[in-house]
Structure 1
Amino acid sequence: MIARLSGILAETTADHAVLDVNGVGYLIQASSRTLAAIGAVGGNVMLFTEMQVREDAITLFGFGSASERDWFRLLTGVQGVGGRVALAILSVLDPNELTRAIAGGDKAMIARAQGVGPKLAQRIAMELKDKVGGLTLTPGKALNAAPASSAQSDALSALANLGFRPAEAAAAVGAAIDELGDGASLDALVRLALRKASKTAAR
């Protein structure tokens, strides 16, 4: 399994890039979001990768962050979602937006992706709702994505310990981060996330 590749960007198109790694060109399918962020041809690039092996093809998919790759794996685990559909979803929603859409059951947001109809969007939202808590909220900028701050991780743990489901905790902490900013203290983050999660639970 190829987990990541580092090399020189040799070519980009609307749906893939070619990465030259020590003289070997790897054709890598990627979301339009990642392709837009990797920079100009000739630059050095590192991509997280996932390889799919089928009887008739071996396809390499590339991602600007580990969280994007995690979401690709979750999405392709849903019946009816292949690699190209998963990339289409990740082209219109970054990992944080997708986490919040799934946590909030926002099927319309998921259906914005090309090739995703209302029924498939509903299936994705239902099947992945209880899995989003296992994904850490991270800054969405591809290729330069940093790990979530310890305050964010601790806030997620705090809400989980108070009995909130992972999906509820992820949505509430994400909303609190949006309001307070990435540099918020743990105390402020937990207080605001708690209010947001309690309002959601009370509906």
Structure 2
Amino acid sequence: MIAKLTGILDDTGPDWAVIDVGGVGYLVHASARTLVQLGNPGDRAVLHTELQVSESDMRLIGFTTSGERAWFRVLMVVQGVGSKVALAILSALTVDELQRACAAGDAAMIARANGVGPKLASRIVNELKDKAGGLAGLGGGLGIIGDGVIVPPGSISGDAVSALQNLGFKPAIAATAVTRAIEDLGDSAALGDVMRVALKHATA
């Protein structure tokens, strides 16, 4: 699992960048905001990443902050939001603007993003507005939401959820399975044990 890249910006495109890490070029998809913040080819680049694996594709998504990555995961919980739509929203809005829009139920603000119509924007704010109030002001500390569950990133729970998503489980299923595993094992459980039990819950 690739969680972070530190290297040299080699090239960029409309929605991607190539990061040279020790002579290996990683193709990373990213929001327009992230691409702007990366700077120019030859600059040092640091990206938090999310590896998405499906039956037909494997892609690395990059973010300048762990907070942006966490909001990406949150958005992916909403039905109808894929990685392209989530990145479009993160291109149009900062994480603070996104939080405020969800908390206020401001669908019009979400609909500013390319490819997001009024119906999808309304679904996003309706599903996230009750949770957004507790996520205000968080850069790297935003949780992963699934079926009403908030899992802190950078923790055993967050790592386990990310690992399950990389195995192909939907964010909501992964978050719920990990939460149940923690309930079974206790807060001090090791990552390996959490993963073992979470996999059982996810496939039950």
Q: Find the counterpart in structure 1 of residue 117 from structure 2.
A: 117
Q: Find the counterpart in structure 2 of residue 126 from structure 1.
A: 126
- Please give the alpha-carbon distance, in whole angstroms, between the structure 2 residues aligned to 1:147 and 1:115: 28
Contact 1:30 1:87 in 2 (8 A): yes
C-alpha distance 24-136 of structure 1, shift in aligned 2 (>3 A)? farther
**1:50-199 matches, cutoff 5 A:** 50-138=50-138
- Please give the alpha-carbon distance, in whole angstroms, between the structure 2 residues aligned to 1:5 and 1:130: 33
- Please give the alpha-carbon distance, in whole angstroms, between the structure 2 residues aligned to 1:20 and 1:136: 34
Over aligned residue pairs, what C-alpha RMSD do you find?
1.7
Unaligned runs of 5+ in 1: 139-144, 149-203
- Please give the alpha-carbon distance, in whole angstroms, between the structure 2 residues aligned to 1:136 and 1:21: 34
Aligned to 1:130, the other structure's residue is in SS state: helix
C-alpha distance 91-38 of structure 1, shift in aligned 2 (>3 A)? same
Unaligned runs of 5+ in 2: 143-204
C-alpha distance 53-134 of structure 1, shift in aligned 2 (>3 A)? farther
Q: Find the counterpart in structure 1 of residue 157 from structure 2.
A: none
The AA in structure 1 aligned to 2:52 is Q
Contact 1:30 1:63 in 2 (8 A): yes
TM-score, structure 1 length as denominator?
0.67
Give runs of ≥4 in structure 1 deviating > 3 Å. 145-148
Contact 2:102 2:128 in 1 (8 A): yes
- Please give the alpha-carbon distance, in whole angstroms, between the structure 2 residues aligned to 1:134 and 1:19: 34
Q: Find the counterpart in structure 1 of residue 40 from structure 2.
A: 40
* CA deviation profile, 1:45-70 (whole Å, cap 9, x unmatched): 10011111001100110001111101
Contact 1:7 1:46 in 2 (8 A): yes
- Please give the alpha-carbon distance, in whole angstroms, between the structure 2 residues aligned to 1:97 and 1:135: 12
The AA in structure 2 aligned to 1:8 is I
Larger Cα-atom Rg: 1
TM-score, structure 2 length as denominator?
0.66
Aligned to 2:130, the other structure's residue is in SS state: coil
- Count of matched residue pairs: 142
- Please give the alpha-carbon distance, in whole angstroms, between the structure 2 residues aligned to 1:39 and 1:134: 32
